Chains A and B, each alone.
Chain A
């Protein structure tokens, strides 16, 4: 299980970073989504991998799963979900406002030229 999860985190992070470095906003959004998946999985494993163990501790000496990373992951999921939605809305708006989904900035001359139109 360790190898499976470790390689899953690694592959998703690598793919996420690769896509994030691309030129168009859509692929960047996909990349960020993969990156947040990797983050969540990684956070989840930080309480150590333990199958079929209780999350509520009745007997501190018995084996148990660490519930805190799960709470952290929940927060992280909610935040990354909201952020991705926001980024999507902004990319759509950027797409319609600047005729294309490229991410590089306009120079001051271009901005002035656009304002004059």
Chain B
């Protein structure tokens, strides 16, 4: 058995309690542990992406219990990509947070590691109930991170966030109950073999369960009409936390890609009804509403929150196509938007801490420290978010447009994607000139209580932007990998064979 598979869960699970108990009084040591663990996670992620590139699906049975009875971890290309993305994002966000943000509340580093553990577990697991448990792990950690730093506005936003997610968890359990009641299994591969065999009397129950599951993933992915929690949460969280959360919405997209392609397959038109009918319009409306929010926002962090919503809309438009081409494009844009939105949130945080009193409100104030450097970082990040050349947002949108061509209603999809890009460019240009350009003509200077550090935060943001540049430069190679990933996703038989062994072939 391949023990590499469990390391992305085990490593943060060991480091986090150490951080919470052994080194909680020593911030320097905590930073060293936390960064060390995250660097290791990046290395493991690279190794796993390389391991998965040979196209085999590796499994790891926990406690050595065979698949439909025990819980399995499954590593295929999709899981490997998500693991690497999480680790890379985590590392840069952590480097940024070390500028002092991690000291504004207790246990930042421990919660951060638990968050990574939950995310990694959710990406690796091959069991629906285990997915629920890892969702809870990452949610509990995110509740803690959400209120990090405190303050009235943030606490209120956090309460909303917790309530929405608790309702989501209840729905998740209802969905699991229905699915288990009808099929008698919660293992994803086993479920994929059982769903076609469900007799017609129970199919309505099964579809109800599947729809509830879609709603749960929709809440996580912040799809209209389940998006209300996202802008407030992201705008009120501390900058680095919001940046880390940019991968949390992607967990919802991942869930839909994984479960609905595998078990409630798009190849079977009868089980396809609810996805095809609802997902695409909902995604398009998400994108439009997100961009309207970007135009109407009154502060930079609100604007970034709505940009995150819009980026989820773009990803979900591609996901809702449910063909190998669209899934490949969706994954490309998913990786791009996670990094771009994170960079944007970090830049916004850098602006906020330099304008005491005014914060990130969209009004021009006097000059603040490091105006030029932060301004140019903002410029690059916004080019990425809006999807302009030469960064990967442009390539990603091009891939999505190309993949959706010929789908039902593709004219509308093109109009929405292109129109919203224009809105993004206009509104980000206006807020950029308001904050950075006009500030040079206002007299006076912000006096921060202490001059905020510049080196490490700028290295962190710069590294994310550099990764985006590399991502764009190596697009052909990345695309090849993602195409293979999408192909592997739609070849559900090899996934089932890898998890359950050969026995399911006899029965099907």
Contacts and interface: CB of A to CB of B under 8 A. Distances in A.
A and B associate: yes
Interface of A: 20, 25, 28, 32, 35-36, 38-40, 42-43, 45-48, 68-69, 72, 75-76, 79-80, 82-84, 86-87, 90-91, 93-94, 97-98, 102-112, 114-116
B163 A105 contact: no
B143 A106 contact: no
Given A98-B156, A105-B157, A106-B153, A87 B359 contact: no
A98 B152 contact: yes
Given A43-B177, A86-B143, A108 B361 contact: yes
Contacts of B232: 105
B136 A68 contact: no
Contacts of A97: 150-152, 155
Given A75-B133, A111-B359, A20 B163 contact: yes
Interface of B: 129, 133, 136, 140, 143, 147, 150-153, 155-160, 162-163, 166-167, 169-170, 173-174, 176-178, 180-181, 232, 236, 298-299, 302, 357-359, 361
A82 B302 CA distance: 31
Nearest 3 A/B pairs, CB to CB: A46-B181, A98-B152, A94-B155
Nearest to B358: A112
B357 A112 contact: yes
Contacts of B174: 39, 42
Contact of B177 (A69, A103, A110, A116): A69
A83 B361 contact: no
Contacts of B155: 90, 93-94, 97-98
B97 to A, nearest CB: 21
Looking at B147, B157, B174, B357, the one whose CB has the most chain A CB atoms below 10 A away is B174
- Residues of B contacting A: mostly: helix
A105 B157 CA distance: 6
Contacts of B357: 112, 115-116
Contacts of A36: 166, 170
A76 B140 contact: no
A38 B174 CA distance: 9
Contacts of B157: 105
B295 to A, nearest CB: 15
B156 A94 contact: yes
Given A98-B155, A106-B156, A90 B173 contact: no
A79 B162 CA distance: 13
A81 to B, nearest CB: 12
B61 to A, nearest CB: 17
A80 B358 contact: no
Given A39-B173, A72-B176, A87 B152 contact: no
Contact of B169 (A46, A72, A79): A79
14 contacts: A35-B167, A39-B170, A46-B180, A79-B133, A80-B166, A83-B162, A87-B163, A94-B159, A97-B151, A98-B152, A103-B156, A104-B156, A105-B156, A111-B359
A90 B153 contact: no
B140 A82 contact: yes
Looking at B173, B299, B302, the one whose CB has the most chain A CB atoms below 10 A away is B173
Contacts of B299: 108
Contact of A114 (B153, B160, B162, B170): B153
A76 B129 CA distance: 10
Given A35-B170, A39-B173, A43-B173, A106 B180 contact: no
Contacts of A47: 181
Contacts of A32: 163, 166-167, 170
Nearest to B178: A46
A108 B136 CA distance: 30
Contacts of B150: 93, 97
A86 B369 CA distance: 39
B158 to A, nearest CB: 6
A69 B184 CA distance: 10
Given A42-B174, A97-B151, A108-B302, A90 B180 contact: no
A81 B355 CA distance: 41
Contacts of A115: 357, 359
Given A39-B173, A69-B177, A108-B299, 16 more contacts: A35-B167, A36-B170, A38-B170, A47-B181, A48-B181, A76-B173, A79-B133, A79-B136, A86-B140, A90-B162, A94-B156, A94-B158, A106-B156, A108-B361, A112-B358, A115-B359
Contacts of A114: 152-153
A83 B133 CA distance: 13
B496 to A, nearest CB: 21
A90 B159 contact: yes
A43 B442 CA distance: 62
Contacts of A84: 166
A116 B361 CA distance: 13
Nearest to B171: A39
A67 B368 CA distance: 63
A42 B159 contact: no
Contacts of B162: 83, 86-87, 90
Contacts of A28: 163
